[in-house]
Amino acid sequence: MSKVASTGEPYDLEEIVLNVGETPLCPSCSRPTILLARYPHSWRNNKGGTISGFRESVLCRVCDRDDPAAAPLVALFERDGSFPADKLDVFGPLAAVWVENRRNTTVDEGLLNEQERLWRGGEL
């Protein structure tokens, strides 16, 4: 099942694709995920130009259950990972909150640099 949504702004032509059918394994715990979101993403390059592309995020029943933006969405899914069709009216708003939260999540540069240092030193 896929769903395409827009943020509703008149100038906004972006599409967010949500897939509950085939989703990849969680990159953190390697367990099956229950939702994949694909949405526009852009960043500035070294010359100040905008690079546009897409970003994907997955919803993991295990890793995301304590995340305030994800937990209500995780709770909608059945134990087997299927999505109950009668909950579509609740799904949309919860998915929008989760995607916006993921969209605004950035890399912790300090943690990344520390993990790289540990990895290069053979400690990770």
Spans of the chain, pLDDT less than 50: 1-11
Query: Would you call 33 exposed, middle or buried from its count of C-beta atoms within 10 A (0-12, 13-18, 19+)?
Result: buried
According to the model, what pLDDT value does residue 99 have?
A: 94
Going by C-alpha positions, the residue among 120, 66, 59 that lies closest to residue 91 is 59
According to the model, what pLDDT value does residue 16 have?
A: 87
